[in-house]
């Protein structure tokens, strides 16, 4: 049996911040290409985001996270950065970003942005210099290795996006490592100069007033310097449903290495302390992700960690993953999401095509009742579905590579629908980079805004109620065995004890619990209580006050 390092031994730990605004916060993820287009070129931009921030603030969320907008050739839609200190012209200017931050702060929204430090674009000036020779000042800034005697790559590591994770460069006569596209060479975190340079790139944005980073794909940051082969594993499907070569290996030597804390997280954390109430959120995935979430966020240099477990599971599997995380988190802190720009939209994943509207309303309430902070993907407040696209409409290199087993990530990246009757849902006056899709256009903000029973209004009402519930923001969590098809758990602080109950099926369910004292006053609850017995309709929701000992 393959043995992973069970935990990271951290010594010494970094301290905790005084202002923990992010703890239990709802962080609204904005995918800028698809949020709002202000200039009619079919691509969303920073001024478009600024113009729509009233909608976001009105939901009752605490912060926004903006996916990459830095200068990039867009091989992977911004996750291939060519200049960390500039805004790509398709999204606007640095002045536009400053205005966005100012407006968000005026609306009492914190601003987090994506930071992509594990790799750059092939067009970044660092890589251009590094590939020029084997003895230039940046020759060791990226991961270079000699071919084997037969000319093949240095080891068996594979790219997430298909093929070998190595690309041969004729100029240097060596391979460079790329865990994603060949246009995304990996930086060498074993070189202290690289860490120092990345820390200064991060400082640039703290100086512009941001409140934190979501650090992308950071578990790929450190590689095994001995370049040992990864062991095989039974084939597994990825979150898009495809069995790819990458998932035929245990990512033992190229990912989630223990050195990551000392080499990267802690230096960045210490730099960030000068900026007060900020947050470092790391994206963690893979076989050891739950343990690494705990390690990295309990003194390892992250404030909290973001896992993929709930981005690909069924509703029936939510309890298993959350309990596994709770068992190892200790004083660490998790961040959960059901949807994002990389994974199927949750309404489709949980409900298939044409999901039940009651399920659409339940999903945000379940997500935002879990212990941890929450990343809430744009359009989740509308119950948006995965958009069906033809091969000809695809933009994503993942979909183009693995079609038809995987249709890639475009179906969850289609534009936000703002107006039902407007062309392209009011997203743009031009031709959108991806179609809105008729199903999602019918779920537009303006139509739902006037419907008291809509997903949008239910989500608003719930999130505003949640803001006042200390137990839902920071309380402990424990599941209750209530019967098949039910997710029932308690959330407790010293001042408040709540029971949260969700029927995850399309038929009525009942349960009884002696600890129930009374209704909790949640305006979106659909369950009914008779004494200690609760009846939940299909996809029903209920919150109750409970005694201190249940």
Catalytic residues: 216, 273
Question: Which residue has tokens 């270079």?
Answer: 144
* Distance between CA atoms of residues 140 and 131, nearest Å: 9
Instruction: State how far the Cα of 443 lies from the Cα of 432, in Å rounded to an integer.
Output: 18
Query: Residue 223 is encoded by which pair of tokens?
Result: 């590689």
Nearest to 73 by CA among 187, 173, 185, 152: 185
* Location of structure tokens 């994974």: 343
Structural element, H or E, at residue 446: helix 445-449
Residues contacting 283, CB < 8 A, separation 6+: 214, 215, 216, 217, 218, 219, 305, 306
Pairing between strand 373-377 and 26-30? parallel
What is the rounded CA–CA span in Å between residue 237 and residue 249? 12
Instruction: Measure CA 135 to chain center.
Output: 38
| Structure tokens, 364 | 């945000």
Lookup: tokens for 87: 């805004």
What is the SS3 string spanning 247-301? HHECCCCCCCCCCHHHHHHHHHHHHHHHHCCCEEEEEECCCCHHHHHHHHHCCCC
What's the order of all strands across the beta sheet hosting 166-169? 144-145, 174-177, 166-169
Residue bearing tokens 């879990």 = 370
Least Cα distance to 363 among 387, 338, 335, 336 occurs for 338
Dig out the tokens for 393 from the structure.
């409409």
For residues 458 and 381, give the distance between their C-alpha atoms in angstroms, rounded to a whole number.
9
- Assess contact for 239 and 308: CB atoms under 8 A: yes
CB atoms within 10 A of CB 523: 11
Alpha-carbon span 108 to 102, nearest angstrom: 10
What is the rounded CA–CA span in Å between residue 194 and residue 201?
11
């Amino acid at each position: 049996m393959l043995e992973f390092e069970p935990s990271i031994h951290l010594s010494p730990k970094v301290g905790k911040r005084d202002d923990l605004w992010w703890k239990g916060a709802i962080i609204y993820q904005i995918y800028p290409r698809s949020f709002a287009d202000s200039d009619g070129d079919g691509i969303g931009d920073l001024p478009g985001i600024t113009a729509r921030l009233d909608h976001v603030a009105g939901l009752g969320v605490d912060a926004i996270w903006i996916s990459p907008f830095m200068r990039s050739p867009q091989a992977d839609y911004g996750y291939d950065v060519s200049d960390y200190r500039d805004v790509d012209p398709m999204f606007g200017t640095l002045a536009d970003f400053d205005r966005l931050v100012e407006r968000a702060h005026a609306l009492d929204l914190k601003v987090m942005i994506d930071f992509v430090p594990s790799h750059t674009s092939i067009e970044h000036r660092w890589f251009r210099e590094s590939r020029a020779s084997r003895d230039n000042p940046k020759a060791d800034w990226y991961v270079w290795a000699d071919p084997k005697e037969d000319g093949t790559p240095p080891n068996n590591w594979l790219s997430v996006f298909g093929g070998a994770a190595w690309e041969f460069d004729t100029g240097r006569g060596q391979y460079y490592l790329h865990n994603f596209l060949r246009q995304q060479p990996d930086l060498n975190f074993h070189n202290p100069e690289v860490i120092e340079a990345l820390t200064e790139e991060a400082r640039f944005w703290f100086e512009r007033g941001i409140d934190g980073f979501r650090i992308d794909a950071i578990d790929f940051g450190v590689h095994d310097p001995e370049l040992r082969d990864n062991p095989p594993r039974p084939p597994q499907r990825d979150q898009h449903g495809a069995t790819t070569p990458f998932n035929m290996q245990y990512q033992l030597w190229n990912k989630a290495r223990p050195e990551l804390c000392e080499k990267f997280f802690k230096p960045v954390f210490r730099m960030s302390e000068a900026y007060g109430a900020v947050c470092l959120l790391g994206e963690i995935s893979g076989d050891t992700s739950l343990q690494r979430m705990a390690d990295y966020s309990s003194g390892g240099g992250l404030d909290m960690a973001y896992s993929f477990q709930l981005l690909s599971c069924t509703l029936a599997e939510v309890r298993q993953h959350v309990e596994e995380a709770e068992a190892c988190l200790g004083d660490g802190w998790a961040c959960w999401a059901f949807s994002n720009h990389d994974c199927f939209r949750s309404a489709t994943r949980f409900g298939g095509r044409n999901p039940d509207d009651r399920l659409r309303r339940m999903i945000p309430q379940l997500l935002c009742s879990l212990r941890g902070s929450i990343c809430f993907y744009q359009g989740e407040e509308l119950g948006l579905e995965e958009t069906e696209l033809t091969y000809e409409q695809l933009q994503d290199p993942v979909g183009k590579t693995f079609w038809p087993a995987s249709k890639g990530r475009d179906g969850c990246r289609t534009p936000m629908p703002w107006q039902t009757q407007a062309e392209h849902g009011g997203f743009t006056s031009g031709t959108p980079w991806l179609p809105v899709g008729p199903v999602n256009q019918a779920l537009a903000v303006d139509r739902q805004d006037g419907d008291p029973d809509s997903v949008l209004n239910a989500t608003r009402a719930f999130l505003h109620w949640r803001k006042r519930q200390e137990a839902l923001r920071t309380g402990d969590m424990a599941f209750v065995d209530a019967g098949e098809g039910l997710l029932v758990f308690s959330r407790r602080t010293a001042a408040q004890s709540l029971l949260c109950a969700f029927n995850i099926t399309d038929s009525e369910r009942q349960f009884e619990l002696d600890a129930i004292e009374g209704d909790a006053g949640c305006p979106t609850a659909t369950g009914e209580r008779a004494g200690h017995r609760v009846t939940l309709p299909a996809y029903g929701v209920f919150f109750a006050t409970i005694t201190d000992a249940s």
